[in-house]
Amino acid sequence: MTNFLSFSSIYDYKRESSRKINEISDSKKRENRLSALFKAIRQHNNNFVKFSLLTKENIDRRKEAIEQNTPGNGKYGVAINVFEIFGIDGTLIDVNARDEKGYTPIIVAIESQNNEILEYLIKNGANLREKHPLFKRSVLNVACYYENEKAVEMLLSANPKLINEQSGIDGWTALQDATLKANIDIIKVLLKNGANPQLKDYNGGTAMDMATDFGKGQIVKLFRDNVKANRKY
């Protein structure tokens, strides 16, 4: 009985060790895929990005590419694996995949001003309430912080309810991030879409307070005019 248990324990140990090794290997492959994807987004290598994401369009494109490059088919009748050329795994990547640092495709696209990919991600179900891994603020806040005006317009067009949503960490609105950057054009876009300059964050501050404290007279005037125009008599 003792020997049987001993052999059984050894077997279980080896099986568990093998499982952990496979998990580590799979995790590394996944990180490599995400690293390649994020690099492509930052470099605006958009054909590669679109071919890599898990969407119906890309699944159909992948099937077509495989069929065309199967020996005996296609122009040259030679099998080609584009992912082998880049030395990465060709598994399609979910549009909301998150790397070990917490970055997702939509955050990387906004940061890198890659609005073509941002539009593609929105179209294919990207999470519009994703949080930045460092700032802990929403994608609309991130777009304002990185002064990506086109991204602000696209996000609000996709979901107008984002306009006055507050960060869970400090209660900041997108308007406060835009005010911090003193970006007049983005502030105008936000106000046009219903941003409230008097909405208080968790410390009791507002975008109006920020503009006043920083001596941003033009922004203060914009806010005052907005408050006056929206005042109910």
The band of 181, judged by pLDDT with boundaries at 50, 70 and 90, is very high
pLDDT at 231: 83
- Residue 113 domain-assigned? no
Does 206 reside within a domain? yes
Residue 64 banded pLDDT, cuts 50, 70, 90:
confident
Domain containing 188: what range?
Answer: 159-233
CATH number of the domain where residue 202 is located: 1.25.40.20
For residue 227, the tally of other CB atoms under 10 A from its CB is: 13
Q: Is residue 231 part of a domain?
A: yes
Q: Which residues of 63-78 are buried (b: 16+ CB within 10 A; e: fewer)?
A: eebeeebeeeeeeeee
What tens digit of pLDDT does each residue of 98-120 get? 999 999 999 999 999 999 999 99
3-state secondary structure of 192: helix
The one-character DSSP state at 88 is S
Establish if 200 belongs to a structural domain. Answer: yes
Residue 66 DSSP code: H
Q: Report d(CA 92, CA 80) in Å as an integer.
A: 17
Do the domain assignments include residue 195? yes
For 12-50, b where at least 16 C-beta lie within 10 A, e where not — what string? eeeeeeeeeeeeeeeeeebeebbebbbebbeeebeebbb
Examine residue 167 and state whether it is found in any structural domain, yes or no: yes
Whether residue 230 is contained in a domain is answered as: yes
Q: How far is CA 121 from the centre of its chain?
A: 8
What is the tally of structural domains in the chain? 1
